[in-house]
Structure 1
Amino acid sequence: MQRTILLVFITLWATAGLAADRAIVLHGQQAKVIGSTLRYEPQPHKQTLGCWTNAADAAEWTFTAARSGEYAVEVLQGCGRGQGGSTMQVTVDADRSGSQSLDFVVEETGHFQAFKPRAVGRVTLAAGAHSLHIKPKEIAKKACCDIRQVRLVPVLAA
């Protein structure tokens, strides 16, 4: 029994991608890609969700929150010169009542692989299984952005 619990804990730790700051890290390669043009680009200098040119395309992750509480949502995004201004929507638990959505406007970073962390907002999570979904609400130019990872960072009580 103890061996099973330890194995489950190790699996959840690796799957959720817990960082030293107890953040839940969702890497692009772990995303379920939905749509026709969006894809994971595995090249070492990319390692990103890219080719986001179709507003119907989306990325989705499943993860487990070990603790209930408020989490800051941070998206590591890149955007080519002249391509900024798209509006993206991050939704937690889209398939449940009480889903939470946050919008952010994509900032131009000079190149699609010049990644910049973006504070998107905060969500409240119960301990347990969740999903996170990102999709464009509006693509301003030809492509909206590349996303390398999403971090959910626990907000510590003051």
Structure 2
Amino acid sequence: AVPKYTHHEEPPNGYFRLLYGRAPMHTFGRTTNNPLLAELMPENEVWINTDVAKIYGIKNGEYVVLVNQDGVKTNKVRAKVTERIRHDCVYMVHGFGHSDKRMKRSYLRGANDNDLITKIKVDPIMGGTGMRGNFVTFERATQQVADTEGVV
């Protein structure tokens, strides 16, 4: 049977589609505790469209908390205000925001995209999972990032 195209769900008002990807210096979430690689990229950022940031009063480099459509919140994450992202999406690098204290360099540094993926759709023909159907909004960050200064 030929697959039938269906429109993707649109984000609710005030929410943005969560996109995630990789960084060239890190392999999934396994290398964020590596001292040399953590020096290159110690935490992830959330990319926010310039026009959206203006509406929300978010400045480049400011910390925000992401909240998904089911109320799940992240650790605070630094905003990267950019025109290189669509107005209806946000983007972040996967593999950060670990909650295991043994991850000394990445413990609570940045946001964990896994926590925000609470809705998954399965393709009925091939069984692939669609995880880009989750939406987030922003809150002001009040929590502190774990201090990893001096960790070797």
What is the TM-score when the length of structure 1 is the normalising length?
0.32
Q: Which one has a larger percent strand, Structure 1 or Structure 2?
A: 1
What is the TM-score when the length of structure 2 is the normalising length?
0.32
